[in-house]
Amino acid sequence: MLNPILIVILIIIAWVLILAIAAPFIRKSKHFSFMGPAIMVKAVKNRKIMDKVSSKFPGIIFSRLSVVLVIISSVIAMVFLLYGSYLATIEHNVRPPSLLLYLVLPGINPAIPIVYGTLSLIAAVVIHEFFHGIVARKHNITVKAVGALFFIVPIGAFVEPDEKEVTEANPVVRRRIFASGPGINIVIAFVALLILLFAMAPLATPIHQGLYVESVQANSAYSKIGAQSEITSVGNFSGEDLNSILENATITPGEMTNVTVFNGISLVKEKVPAGLVVVGTIKGFSAYKNISLGSIIYSINGTHIYNTTQLTSILDHIPPGNNITMSTLTYTNGKSSTFENHTLVTGSKYNYYAQYDPSANRVSYKNQSFIGVEISYLGISSVPINEIRSEVLGTTMLSSPWYGTLSAIALPFTGLSPIPGKLASLFSTPFNPFIFWGLFNTLFWLFWMDFLLGITNALPFFILDGGQFFKDTLKISSRRRIFKKLGDDKTIANISLIMNFIVFFLILWEIVALEHI
């Protein structure tokens, strides 16, 4: 089977060859031309619809609003770039993302769904270009052509104002034209977000109160629980009490315990061994390669370990460098094996935090032990159902705007948008779930694509709308006495060049820094 990346490369090579062969014919045609590696299919007549819309649309007011929106968006975009570069600099021991994730192309970027991604991208680009034309016509700038843009498949539309008229236009008018595209994208993103947060999200409520299972320890006695299901009870723990079971469990380690699981259709009762399960070990500490993944921590120095509170308390009272005896219990095909006793030399909690989370380190950790195990209760990775609800429905943005916005943008990369069917089945909806979640996902991708297209185009970079917008802003500012020196075209060009370099460097740094972690 061919590698997907190789298939994409072969398709692109074939496209380039087709363009090379067709180039002489395309250059002679008034209906076709190139835009980089894409083909522009032009309609040079019948643009009356744009004139009709511009005559009735409050284009002047909208274009002024767009200028404000682009200024705000460019600041947000630069903050994102700076923040991303900062994280790429300080993050350690993380797996760098695939380079395909940097391409906002459905079918190539694995995080972007083909249907929702393609439709939302085309809609965002078409509306973006259409509003460039509407505002241009509102300011009496000739629109020479409109049409479709192809890069292997249709990827959007374009509007081609008269270049000479745009160049000779007042910088205020020119800035409004360039701002209108990103401006309408931001408006659409904002409207879609408001509908999601205040009309759609409140209608989806959890059927049960429990723990959403993100993943389960592979090949373990817990596999029967199943990922993307919901645990509604464990022994005597149920409802919101499950949120603290990791810290407060009182069930004897290894004891077969009743667990109720909601699979989106019905409640199923299972029996699994209770306890803290080792789901990972950390290199450089004594548990690494000595403790089998999937093992239940039974006891330390003869004391049963029921929960993380007890585990932490015991290790905190043992100075680093001491020997401890850890007993573990493993299950194969639902049946317990014999106990295993491990003699481990404790490491320093201070050294662990110094390496993996320096900002959370404390001097007191120097006298506390660490053995290097990553654990979970019942071998599952889980979050409260209301917490995952806030995340996938975007309502985290209301309580924590900065984190919530980053979380919403990251949903496609965490596999939570479009919302997986199994997860969606854990919620009740006011009408047919297929229609409800289809509408919800459509609105989300309109928000996602328009938001990213809007703030990206607002960046002061020469190939984007924000590049010319930035130049015109400097030109307009030079009319004020305090910025009079900016009126020199050479000065404006030099400042723009510096800004282009900064933007390019930040983008490149984020990619290079992560790739070389």
pLDDT digits (tens, 9 = 90+) for 333-350: 656 667 889 999 999 999
What sign does the dihedral 403-67-123-114 (CA atoms) show?
A: negative
Q: Give the percent of the chain with pLDDT over 70.
A: 85
Q: Give the percent of the chain with pLDDT over 90.
A: 46
Average the pLDDT over each of 46-50, 114-118, 354-358, 402-406 and give the range with the smallest value: 46-50
List alpha helices for 91-158, DSSP H: 114-138
Which residue would you say has higher pLDDT here, 32 or 135?
135
- Write out 478-507 in H/E/C secondary structure: CCCHHHHHHHCHHHHHHHHHHHHHHHHHHH
E strand spans, 17-171? 32-35, 38-43, 143-151, 153-161
Residue 178 has pLDDT above 80, yes or no: yes
Q: Locate 147 and state its tokens.
A: 């049409």
E strand spans, 393-514? 427-428
The rounded distance, in Å, linking the Cα atoms of 296 and 254 is 7
State the pLDDT confidence band at 102, using cuts at 50, 70 and 90: low
pLDDT score for 437:
96
Closest CA to 242 of 280, 188, 206: 206
Q: Are residues 230 and 211 in contact, defined by beta-carbon separation less than 8 angstroms?
A: yes
Query: Hey, what amino acid is at 113?
Result: P
Average pLDDT of the residues in 263-283: 92
Count other C-beta atoms under 10 Å from residue 187's C-beta.
18
pLDDT score for 245:
92
Residue 391 has pLDDT above 60, yes or no: yes
State the pLDDT confidence band at 504, using cuts at 50, 70 and 90: confident
Which residue would you say has higher pLDDT here, 91 or 369?
369
Which residue would you say has higher pLDDT here, 57 or 427?
427
Mind listing the pLDDT tens digit for each residue in 467-483?
889 988 988 888 777 66
Q: Are residues 444 and 417 in contact, defined by beta-carbon separation less than 8 angstroms?
A: yes
Which residue would you say has higher pLDDT here, 27 or 193?
193
Angle at CA 42, nearest 5°, toward 38 and 47?
Answer: 140
The rounded distance, in Å, linking the Cα atoms of 194 and 398 is 11
Mind listing the pLDDT tens digit for each residue in 151-170?
665 566 677 787 888 888 89
| Average pLDDT of every residue of the chain | 85
Which helix (H) or strand (E) element contains residue 300?
A: strand 296-300
Average pLDDT of the residues in 512-517: 57
Residue 261 has pLDDT above 80, yes or no: yes
The rounded distance, in Å, linking the Cα atoms of 354 and 360 is 9
DSSP-derived secondary structure letter, 419: P
pLDDT score for 35:
57
pLDDT score for 454:
92
Fold (CATH) for 276-377: Pdz3 Domain (2.30.42)
The verdict on whether omega for the bond into residue 97 sits within 30 degrees of 0, i.e. cis, is no
pLDDT score for 157:
64
Mind listing the pLDDT tens digit for each residue in 202-212?
999 999 999 99
Q: Are residues 284 and 224 in contact, defined by beta-carbon separation less than 8 angstroms?
A: no
The rounded distance, in Å, linking the Cα atoms of 475 and 487 is 6
For the chain, report the end-to-end CA distance as a whole number of angstroms. 30
Which residue would you say has higher pLDDT here, 135 or 220?
135
Q: Are residues 233 and 242 in contact, defined by beta-carbon separation less than 8 angstroms?
A: yes
